[in-house]
């Protein structure tokens, strides 16, 4: 079940919110826990026990760490057990076949693949669970003794499958006490619809162009169409993922939770360093807080600092997918950030327009690595981008997708937001009918459309 579906919008969501709002304050978390487990199990019922065991093991680990607070060795052991357990599930489901594939290639063996289906959102909720036990160990938060509250944190359906990555400390107080007001519900609904429109009206329509280019193959397209295709993916992945993040944030607000911002117009950045402060901000923050800083961060000698960066970006690439193209994508950004730290950043700061062009090109090249899992095809696509191969195929696609590409390019910047802020207060009531109209258009599209992918489900 995905947010951008008729089933979710007109069955699961109304029933869940109705029961939640009518329920007494004492059992609201129980209502959310049950609803979230139903949401998770709808498409992954066979992995329901995995989720339950993950909740129980990490809940027990937190209780144990708090109980043995005076015994550092026991606390450390419990922390290690909880991390190994959580990362172990992720490694088993996500990387088993990747490891077997590389063993077969290296040693000429023929070990059969496990062909496991990846549990929904496992990359996201694994990181969320780890923040709880790590923060308990370091005394950054109090232990959660109510298993209903803890289970709600782990499996909370708005951000379960695609983030933002919500740390326990982000919502610990709201798990115990929160207020749902009409203003919050209205604001959350508006944010949700904005995210739904980003996903349904922009990401889906723009993504159809990239799907067609993929189907044609790199060897069969002109250079202009190759550029149009990867530009389409650049916009699709932004509106797809940021749209889902907005929907999660909006749903959370309507339920009384405040989730952290996950995107802040990353394509207006002027350096790769700035880009990663604006793109998937909760993931960047997680790696900084729980991996980069514990390794020593930038408080160490330069050689060690760059090693720390290497570990972080290797891990970031691998987190995104069990394939070498994702590892190369992560290391690609490691090299660029290292170069910026060494000397390039000071020059980028001086040249505003050139730095924007630099960032967009760098990111587009990165998305080629990210979007195409076959390394040989990656090479073909880069070759096509710079081979100046002529043809008229791009004219057809530009006619069909030119308007939505232009709209996506504009809306990936804060231009519309600034226009809205400049509007007179007496005209802001128009936001309500406009939002309702946008929602109706989204629903009409979903009723009629067959193309409704979500790129981050595979992560």
Q: Which residues are catalytic?
A: 320
Is the link from the previous residue into 139 a cis peptide, with omega within 30 of 0? no
Pairwise CA distance, residues 121 & 459, whole Å: 7
Tally of CA atoms within 13 A in the half-sphere of 398 that contains its CB: 11
DSSP string of 25-55?
A: GGGHHHHHHHHHHHHHHHHHGGGHHHHHHHH
Give the residue among 247, 248, 282, 250 at the shortest CA–CA distance from 263: 282
Report helix, strand and coil shares of the chain as percent, to nearest 5: 80, 0, 20
Is residue 267 within 8 A of residue 367, CB to CB? The reply is no
Pairwise CA distance, residues 359 & 173, whole Å: 39
Q: How far is CA 422 from CA 54, 288, 431, in A?
A: 48, 36, 13
SS3 label, residue 417: helix
Pairwise CA distance, residues 104 & 96, whole Å: 12
151's CB contacts (< 8 A; 6+ apart) are: 33, 55, 59
Question: Token pair 């939770």 is at which residue?
Answer: 257
Write out the two tokens for 29: 């978390």
Pairwise CA distance, residues 139 & 444, whole Å: 50
């Amino acid at each position: 079940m995905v947010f951008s579906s008729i089933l979710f919008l007109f069955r699961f969501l109304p029933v869940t919110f109705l029961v939640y709002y009518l329920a007494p304050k004492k059992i609201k978390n129980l209502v959310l826990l049950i609803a979230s487990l139903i949401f998770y199990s709808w498409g992954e019922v066979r992995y329901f026990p995995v989720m339950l065991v993950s909740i129980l093991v990490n809940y027990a680990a937190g209780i144990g760490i708090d109980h043995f607070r005076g015994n550092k060795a026991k606390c450390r052991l419990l922390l290690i057990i909880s991390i190994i357990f959580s990362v172990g599930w992720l490694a088993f489901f996500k990387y088993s076949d990747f490891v077997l594939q590389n063993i077969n290639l290296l040693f000429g063996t023929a070990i059969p693949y496990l062909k496991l289906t990846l549990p929904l959102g496992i990359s996201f909720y694994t990181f969320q669970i780890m923040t709880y036990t790590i923060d308990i160990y370091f005394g950054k938060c109090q232990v959660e003794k109510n298993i209903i509250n803890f289970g709600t944190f782990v499996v909370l359906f708005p951000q379960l499958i695609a983030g933002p990555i919500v740390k326990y400390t982000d919502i610990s107080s709201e798990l115990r006490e929160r207020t749902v007001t009409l203003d919050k519900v209205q604001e959350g609904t508006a944010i949700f619809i904005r995210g739904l429109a980003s996903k349904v009206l922009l990401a889906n329509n723009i993504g159809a162009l990239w799907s067609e280019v993929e189907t044609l193959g790199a060897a069969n397209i002109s250079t202009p169409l190759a550029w149009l295709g990867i530009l389409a993916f650049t916009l699709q992945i932004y509106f797809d993922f940021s749209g889902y993040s907005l929907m999660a944030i909006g749903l959370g607000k309507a339920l009384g939770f405040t989730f952290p911002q996950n995107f802040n117009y990353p394509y207006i950045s002027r350096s790769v360093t700035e880009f990663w402060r604006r793109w998937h901000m909760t993931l960047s923050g997680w790696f900084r807080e729980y991996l980069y800083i514990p390794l020593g961060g930038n408080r160490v000698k330069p050689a060690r600092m760059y090693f720390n960066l290497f570990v972080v970006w290797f891990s970031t690439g691998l987190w995104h997918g069990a394939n070498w193209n994702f590892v190369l994508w992560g290391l690609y950004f490691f090299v660029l950030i290292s170069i910026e730290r060494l000397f390039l950043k000071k020059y980028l700061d001086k040249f505003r327009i050139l730095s924007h062009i630099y960032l967009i090109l760098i990111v587009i090249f990165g998305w080629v690595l990210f979007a195409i899992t076959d390394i040989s095809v990656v090479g073909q696509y880069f070759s096509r981008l710079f081979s100046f191969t002529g043809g008229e195929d791009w004219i057809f696609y530009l006619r069909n997708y030119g308007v939505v590409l232009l709209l996506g390019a504009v809306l990936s910047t804060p231009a519309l937001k600034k226009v809205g802020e400049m509007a007179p207060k007496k005209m802001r009531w128009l936001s309500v009918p406009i939002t309702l109209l946008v929602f109706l258009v989204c629903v009409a599209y979903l009723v009629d459309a067959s193309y409704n992918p979500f790129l981050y489900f595979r992560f």
